[in-house]
Amino acid sequence: MQQMYINGRFTSGQATETIPIINPATEEIIDEVPRGTAADVDTAVAAAKSAFASWKKVPAWERAGMLHTIANKMQAHAEELTRLLTEEEGKPFIENEEEVFWTYDTFNYYAELGRHERGRFLPPGDPDQLNFVIKEPYGVVACIVPWNYPLLLLAWKAAAALAAGNTIVIKPSEYTPLATLRTIELAFAHLPPGVVNVITGYGLEAGEPLVRHPDVPVIAFTGSVATGQRIAAIAAPMMKKLHLELGGKDPLVVAEDVDLTTAVSAVAYSGLLNTGQVCTSSERIYVHERVYGRFSEELAEFVANLRLGNGMHPQTDIGPMLRDHFRVGVEKQLDAALKAGAHLLVGGKRPSYLDKGYFLEPAVLVNVNHEMAIMREETFGPVLPLMPYTDFDEAIRLANDTQFGLGACLLSHDARLVKRFFEEVKAGTIWINDPLTDNFAGPFGGMKMTGGGRELGQEGLDEFYEVKHVHWDVEGKLKDYWFPY
């Protein structure tokens, strides 16, 4: 059994029960972790708070060295971590290789960015004065991480928070804690005790006590809108800093000027990566009416030839969904759409040739509209719903017709359309011809109901600083504008 990590050591804490961890491709229990409690959260937060007093004073160059060491150790064990990710989360090995690379290189990126600057000088209002801004760490940061990219989305929070001088308490998903715990064991042991802590458990029993804790001023969370709203309601009376990324319903627009073969491949990748279990998945596909028919046929043929299977098999394109109840949720959305008049070109069934695992054939759906839940609510599964549009005004209107604003993609080489798209579509990331690609230096996050936090880039680091303005009159002379008037 894996254990939690508190104050520099692995422990079962106060937990009296365990949580089984299931391989979604085989449905086998591969390990178990402690079912953490509020008492364990208290212990972890106390350790993090105690460690903060000295960690915040560690010189930035020295913290940078420690973060580089984390990256180097992860890189040395990349194959092991990739294998463990594949076993507990399900996506193909090649996709997890990319996740591990992005994870350790995020630590490299923030190692350097964190020692670059700590504030700025301002022009003073008087020759005898100095004005400057200091960026300071908050203290203990709660990192509440989802299951679909357990290490990557941890790194986007933890690397920036640590580089800024905060300490952290991590609450991984109860579905996928193994790679996180193994990463801590392999790569974090050189950090001072209490700087990094990991509590395993369910949301209500471990996550919510972490959010409620008075000594945790910052909550960094990626997950559903409902859970984000719950966190916000709990945190509001305590005026905590919230860093929320709450999913999306991303549009992808196919213009008529693109090569259809390239567009088909781009759409399949952007909608079916990690079996569609990505917050930035393209879940609404809008195709110009002149190419809609041919595009639909070619996409259906392409998707029909994708290979489902265990992510450990090198020939696998599409892995399982994480759990059966997530698969059932996607099937319900599909069924409701079909009953409302949609038409299934391919997929949407459980493959009969795979007797184990939570597999669902990727689906291409046509005759959809915005009255259907499948075009309004996050699907988080392998479904590509297609709608035609007549002109670019309609494409932009459809793209913006959502409560979410995480990302949006346009496939076009027409510069006039591109400019209109990135100026008029309300989303935190705009991809042109290269969907779902990240950049360490570019901020990631959303608008509207997706939340306003940013990860990566300078903006991602600044999320974990609070700002102080220092106004210093060096001479300290009597002022003629003081009392009496």
Residues classed as catalytic = 245, 279
Q: Please tell me what DSSP assigns to residue 157.
A: H
Give the integer Cα–Cα distance in Å for 186 and 5. Answer: 12
Tokens describing residue 111: 């190692």
Residues 342, 368 contacting (CB under 8 angstroms): yes
CA terminus-to-terminus distance, the chain: 74
Distances (CA, A) of 57 to 35, 53, 54, 159, 248: 34, 7, 5, 17, 38
What amino acid occupies position 482?
W
Q: Rounded to a whole number, what is the largest CA-CA distance in the chain?
A: 90
Residues 333, 374 contacting (CB under 8 angstroms): yes
What amino acid occupies position 31?
D
Tokens describing residue 415: 């510069």
Rounded to 10°, the helix 93-113/60-76 angle is 160
Q: Provide the 3-class DSSP secondary structure of residue 165.
A: coil
Residues 287, 300 contacting (CB under 8 angstroms): no
Q: Which residues pair with 169 in a beta bridge?
A: 142, 197
Nearest Cα to Cα of residue 464 among 231, 55, 136: 136
Q: Provide the 3-class DSSP secondary structure of residue 54.
A: helix
Q: In what order do the strands lie in the sheet with 363-366?
A: 343-346, 363-366, 383-389, 282-288, 250-254, 407-411, 429-432
Which is it for strands 407-411 and 429-432: parallel, antiparallel or unpaired? parallel
DSSP 59-120: -HHHHHHHHHHHHHHHHHTHHHHHHHHHHHH-S-HHHHHHHHHHHHHHHHHHHHHTTT-SEE
